[in-house]
Structure 1
Amino acid sequence: MSEATERSIMKSIKEFEKSQFYLNKDLSLNTVAGELGINNRYLSYVINKNKSKDFATYINELRINYIVDRLKNDSSYLKYKISYLADEAGFSSHSRFSITFKKVTGVSPMNFIAYLQQENEEKE
C-alpha cells in the first residue's frame, strides 16, 4: 500500500471518529469500510498498524472513551444505569460494556461513577 493511500485512509478514520458512527450497535469492519469507501483489508491493516490494535478493540475503546467523556462532562449521565450507558455507547450487552470499560479505564463503571460523584460533591 502506498503512503498516500495510507494517509488517505487515516484521514477517513479521523473523520469517522468525529462522526460518532462507532456508537452504532450493528457496526462491523465491513460496514465501516463500506461507509468510508475503503477496502476492508486495507482498513484493518491501517488500524492495526497506526492504532496498534485490532478493529474490535479500536471500536470498543472509542465507545468507552465516548462514555467516559459524557460521564465527566454531563452530570446527568452519572444517574443512568450501567445498562443504559452500555446501550448509549453501542454495546449489545452490559456485561461486555463493563468488562471493556474496566480494561480501558482500569476501574469498573460503578467505581468510576462513584469517584466522579464524590468529586462533584466535593466541588459543591
Structure 2
Amino acid sequence: MIDLFTIIEETTDALLLKLEKFEKSKNAIKKEVSLTWLANHLNTNTRYLSEVIKKHKGKSFNNYINGLRINYIIGLLYDNPKHREYKISHIAELCGFSSREVFTTVFKKETGISPSYFIDNLKSKQP
C-alpha cells in the first residue's frame, strides 16, 4: 500500500530549491518567520514544508530557522568588528530572536560555546 503522505520528487526538488533561495536571503532573521509564514512565502503547505525540512535538513522547523539565524550572526561577527561591541541582547535582536536568553541557549546549542565567549575569542584575534 502507498503511503498517502509521500511527497512526489518534483515537488520536493522544487521546495528544496526555494529553501535554498530562502537560506541565501536574509528572511530567516525576520521575527515574523513561522512555519505558516514560510509555507505561504514558498507557496506550499505547512505539512509538506515541515516534512521536507525534517527529511532533507535533518532538523525540526524551529531548529532549522535557529541554525540559519546563528549562521547569519556568526557571519556578521566575523565580517564586521563593530558588531562585536554590541550587547548580546542587541545581537539577539539583530538575528530575529525575541530574547537574549533564547539566543544564548540556541547559540550554545549550535556552536558549543556561549556568544560572549565566541565574541571575546574573535576580539583576541583582531590585529
TM value normalised by structure 2: 0.93
Point out where structure 2 has 5 or more consecutive residues left out of the alignment: 1-6
Percent identity over the alignment is 43
Count the aligned residue pairs.
121
1:64 match: 70
The partner residue of 2:59 within 50, 53, 60 is: 53
Q: How far 1:26 sits from its partner (Å)? A: 1.6
Higher helix residue share:
1
CA-based RMSD of the aligned residues comes to 0.6
1:84 match: 90
Distance 2:44 2:29 in 1: 20
TM value normalised by structure 1: 0.96
CA deviation vs aligned residue, 1:3-50 (integer Å, no higher than 9, x gap): 111000000100111121111112110000001111111000000000
The partner residue of 2:44 within 24, 38, 43 is: 38
1:9 match: 15
Is 1:107 matched with 2:97?
no
Point out where structure 1 has 5 or more consecutive residues left out of the alignment: none
1:73 match: 79
